[in-house]
Amino acid sequence: MGDALGMPVEGMPHNEIEQVYGSIKNMMDGWLPKGSYTDDTQLMIGLAESLIECRGFSGAHMSRQFISNFEPHRGYGPGTIRVLNNVKEGQGWHEAASHLYGGGSYGNGAAMRIAPVGILYYDQPEKLKQVAEVTSRITHAHPLGVEGAVLQATAVGLAANVDLIESGTLNKIDFIEQLIAVSTLDEYQTKLDMIKSFITGPKNHTNNDIISALGVGVQAHKSVPMAIYCFLEKCGSYRDAVCYAVNMGGDTDTIGAMTGALAGALHGVRGIPEEWLEDLENSQKGRDHIMKLGEDLYDLHIN
Ligand code: AR6
Ligand code: MG
């Protein structure tokens, strides 16, 4: 949902979105027709399909699934295209990503597709972390790329664990502290600490202050923290969280997708605005297929 909402303004800075659109609240036409999802969701679909079919992680199967689902018009990152081509031509799935950019990619491509791992393993944190790491390494071998995906998956799992009916609200400080405990790299620890001060301290910062501090780029460490922040700041509503994320500008489809995964894990499918659901592409692997994948993941978890 966040992917399709952010698609039309991908790459546009926050201030320009404000000038041109005021605020984006609904799906629009963009470089793809209104309601279309991009590579973010396409890869998430492949990841979920593979987890379901293999009843857990298989790198060989998952990389093949990414390749067979590949549709170039959805706007893939250049590193991901190269890895998938190399595997298609016979390179091993576990080695194809390691030489990209001279040490592996730290793009946000592993984090943007990881939600199904957080959902399937929400009650097994060690397993969640291990599967998040290995699924990421198929395309993103740089430690920043992997840790971004581990943090996003962990955050999805934490959000899925919250029973809003019982607790009434999300404990934001506890949530961010659990993420700080999982992080190992300075780039993430520093930004998670900033998020904690943004959500607990005086509200005297502008959106531009937050953008300067956390980033809105295609790099995992410049987008995963922003998605976590937008989710926590607007944790009372799925719609508000996703709109806030997309209007921050920059890598809007991906930050929207990751914020949406977090808010969806907290609020459930009933939190999604009806008109957004209607607008979402319902092609062969579109809305109905994605809904079914959600149900299949749930069945896999309880069996
Ligand atoms: N050194 C320098 N730049 C890097 C490095 C590195 N080690 N790693 C990544 N980049 P990529 P993705 C930069 O190509 O993560 C779609 O639009 C580099 O500029 O691995 O799958 C989605 O919507 C590289 O092109 O692809 C997402 O926004 C970029 O990070 C995004 O692409 C992306 O890394 C996901 O891309
Ligand atoms: Mg995209």
Residues 17-45 pLDDT 10s: 999 999 999 999 999 999 999 999 999 99
Domain ranges of the chain: 2-302
Does residue 303 carry a pLDDT above 90? no
Instruction: State the ligand closest to the CA atom of 138.
Output: 1
Say what the pLDDT of residue 167 is: 86
Q: For residue 36, how far is its CA from the centre of ligand 2 (angstroms)?
A: 10
Does residue 256 carry a pLDDT above 90? yes
Say what the pLDDT of residue 40 is: 98
Mean pLDDT of 88-103: 95
- 40: nearest Cα among 281, 239, 288, 240: 281
Ion ligand 2: residue ranges with CB closer than 5 A: 38-40, 253
Instruction: State the ligand closest to the CA atom of 99.
Output: 1
Q: pLDDT band at 162, cuts 50/70/90?
A: very high
Q: What residues does 107 pair with on adjacent strands?
A: 219
Ligand 1 binding pocket includes 253 (Cβ within 6 Å): yes
Mean pLDDT of 207-212: 98
Say what the pLDDT of residue 80 is: 98
Instruction: Give the residue whose CA is nearest to atom 33 of ligand 1.
Output: 107
Does residue 296 carry a pLDDT above 90? yes
Say what the pLDDT of residue 165 is: 83
Does residue 187 carry a pLDDT above 90? yes
Does residue 105 carry a pLDDT above 90? yes
Instruction: Give the residue whose CA is nearest to atom 2 of ligand 1.
Output: 101
Say what the pLDDT of residue 244 is: 98
Cα–Cα distance, 4 to 74 (Å, whole number): 11
Closest ligand 1 atom to residue 218 Cα is: 28
Percent residues over pLDDT 90 in the chain: 95
Q: Encode pLDDT of 112-156 as tens digits.
A: 999 999 999 999 999 999 999 999 999 999 999 999 999 999 999
Instruction: Give the residue whose CA is nearest to atom 30 of ligand 1.
Output: 107
Cα–Cα distance, 241 to 196 (Å, whole number): 17
- C-alpha dihedral, 192 to 215 to 115 to 233, nearest 10°: 60
Ligand 1 binding pocket includes 11 (Cβ within 6 Å): no
Ligand 1 binding pocket includes 40 (Cβ within 6 Å): yes
Closest ligand 1 atom to residue 110 Cα is: 15
Ligand 1 binding pocket includes 116 (Cβ within 6 Å): no
Say what the pLDDT of residue 22 is: 97
Instruction: State the ligand closest to the CA atom of 109.
Output: 1
Does residue 257 carry a pLDDT above 90? yes
- C-alpha dihedral, 222 to 253 to 182 to 171, nearest 10°: 110
Residues 246 and 275 sit within 8 Å (Cβ to Cβ): no
Say what the pLDDT of residue 94 is: 94
Does residue 302 carry a pLDDT above 90? no
Q: For the domain 2-302, what is the CATH code? A: 1.10.4080.10
pTM of the model: 0.98
Say what the pLDDT of residue 55 is: 97
Cα–Cα distance, 76 to 50 (Å, whole number): 19
